[in-house]
Structure formats: C-alpha cells, structure tokens
Amino acid sequence: MTPEAIVRSYDTSIIVRRWLGCWVDFIALLAIFLIPDALNHEMYQRLLPVWVTLGIAYFPLTEGLFGRSLGKLATRTVVVNAQGETPGIGRAFVRTLLRIVEVNPLFLGGLPAGIIAATSKTKQRLGDMAAKTFVLKQEHLRLLGPGNLDQSPVTLKELAIRKRSKWAVAAGYLGLCSVILFPAPFALVAGILGVRDLKQHPEKAGMAGAVFGIVMGCVGTAVIALAIIAPHIGQG
C-alpha cells in the first residue's frame, strides 16, 4: 500500500502521537542549548555557533536521513515521502521551515499544526503538504516496500477504520485546544466520558484520544485553578 492510502485510514490517535512527539523534540532541543551551558558556561559561549548549528540541523538530519527524530522514536512514528522512503534532507528542511510557524512551542504549543492535520484527510500539516511527506505509525511500515500496492483482505482488514467513540474524538480535539487553557475542563469531562463509552463498547476505537483529553484536561484545569487561587493566597 502507499503511504497516502495508509494515513487515510488513521483516526485522531495519530495526531495525539505526533503532538506528544513534538514535545519530546522540544525538550531535546532545549537540552542541546541548556545542558552544555550548565556544564561549562565559558566553553558554551565559545562554541555557541556549534550548538546553534546543531539545533538548526536537528530535524533536517534526523528526519531527513532516518525518518525519525527523538520524538518520533518515542512515539513510534516515522516520516516518509510519497514512495514510503526516508524523505531526504531537502524535504525535511521544508518541513522544518514551516514547523517554525505551525509547531512553535511559543505559538499556542503546536495547536495550528494539530488543527490542520486533524482536518486533513491525509493527516498532514502544512509542512507535510509542502514537502509531500506523510507520518505513519511505525507498526505500519511493513505494509510498504515491494508489496506496497497490496490490497489483500488481510491488509485492508488491519487498516479498516473502526467506529470511534464520539466522546473520545471530542476529548482529543479539546485536549489539543487545552494549550489555551479554557477548553481544559471540557477535555477532562469528555475524556472521562470517552473512557466510559469505550469500556461499554469495546469494539469502538479512540482510547488514545480519551486518555490524551484527560491528561491535558487535568493539566489545564490545574493551571486555571492555580491562577484563580493564587491571588487569594497572596492576600492571606
């Protein structure tokens, strides 16, 4: 099968994986800059161009040559071109340029990319569309290669879209939006209802979205609660 055919079968769980992977990569990039500075500030200053170069080259090299950054390794996802091969440094560089706008942690925590990918039939953000790349779940890589046009019943059954819990889907989207905080309580409620729905209907899919909604909902709701309580604590 082709990468496009595979990603068209995905639900929002791939968006959750990608979003989590982005934050792993953010942490990795912070480590590139912060750890050397903490170990030896003077040497860090002298070698600053080296660290900046490493930061800039992080995504083009890891995704371009191997199809995986540290975040993708952690979340078991891989970026490929339309032929199912590693995209190459050029395409990875295009993805990285648009990542500055779409997946910038200082700009809504990657929410724009999440919304665009979630509404795309092929689960692509703008960087993927421009570079003509796709992000697959690692377990589906074996469907590519010489037999990538296989349309056998077994292959199609494996990729068949299961009916999803509406509560779980809502939790996934609200979880993504929880970076702007106010949807967080709704994400928490939707996630809990999603888990309940999935337990009552095991044939449905969407547990990843439900759990994601609960986690993001808890974090966002806690931040909101602290913001409300903190001024009163200071007055006391």
pLDDT digits over 106-131, tens only?
666 677 888 888 889 999 999 999 99
Q: Give, in order, the Cα–Cα distances in Å from 140 to each of 60, 219, 234.
A: 23, 32, 53
- Indicate if 204 and 110 belong to the same structural domain: no
Burial class (CB in 10 A: 0-12, 13-18, 19+), 20: middle
- Indicate if 154 and 174 belong to the same structural domain: no
State yes or no: pLDDT of 160 exceeds 60: no
pLDDT (0 to 100) of residue 193 = 93
Q: Report the b/e string of 36-55 with b at 16+ CB within 10 A.
A: beeeeeeebeeeeeebeeee
Helices within the chain (DSSP H only) = 3-7, 13-39, 41-46, 48-66, 70-75, 88-102, 111-119, 126-131, 153-159, 166-177, 184-200, 207-235
Mean pLDDT of 210-216: 85
Dist. CA 204–CA 217, nearest whole Å: 22
pLDDT (0 to 100) of residue 148 = 43
pLDDT (0 to 100) of residue 203 = 83
Q: In whole numbers, what is the pLDDT of the chain averaged over residues?
A: 83
Mean pLDDT of 46-69: 89
pLDDT tier at 178 (50, 70, 90 boundaries)? confident
Vertex 119, ends 115 and 121: CA angle to 5°? 140
State the amino acid at position 5 in one-letter form: A
pLDDT (0 to 100) of residue 182 = 83
- Indicate if 53 and 40 belong to the same structural domain: yes
pLDDT (0 to 100) of residue 62 = 94
Q: Look at the pTM and tell me if it is higher than 0.95.
A: no
Picking from 161, 178, 200, the residue at the C-terminal end of a domain is 161
- Indicate if 201 and 101 belong to the same structural domain: no
pLDDT tier at 192 (50, 70, 90 boundaries)? very high
What is the count of structural domains for the chain? 2
Residue 188 domain-assigned? Answer: yes
- Indicate if 91 and 13 belong to the same structural domain: yes
The boundaries of the domain holding residue 98 are: 1-161
- Indicate if 68 and 156 belong to the same structural domain: yes
Q: Which residues contact 209 (CB under 8 A, 6 or more apart)?
A: 11, 12, 13, 16, 164, 168, 169, 171, 172, 175, 191, 194
Residue 235 domain-assigned? Answer: no
pLDDT tier at 151 (50, 70, 90 boundaries)? very low
pLDDT tens by residue, 12-51: 778 888 888 888 888 888 888 887 777 788 887 888 888 8
Q: Which residues contact 99 (CB under 8 A, 6 or more apart)?
A: 59, 113, 127
- Of 17-21, 158-162, 180-184, the one with minimum mean pLDDT is 158-162
Q: Whole-angstrom distance between the N-terminal and C-terminal Cα of the chain?
A: 64
The percent of residues above 90 in pLDDT, for the chain, comes to 29
Closest to 78 in 3D by CA, of 11, 18, 24:
18
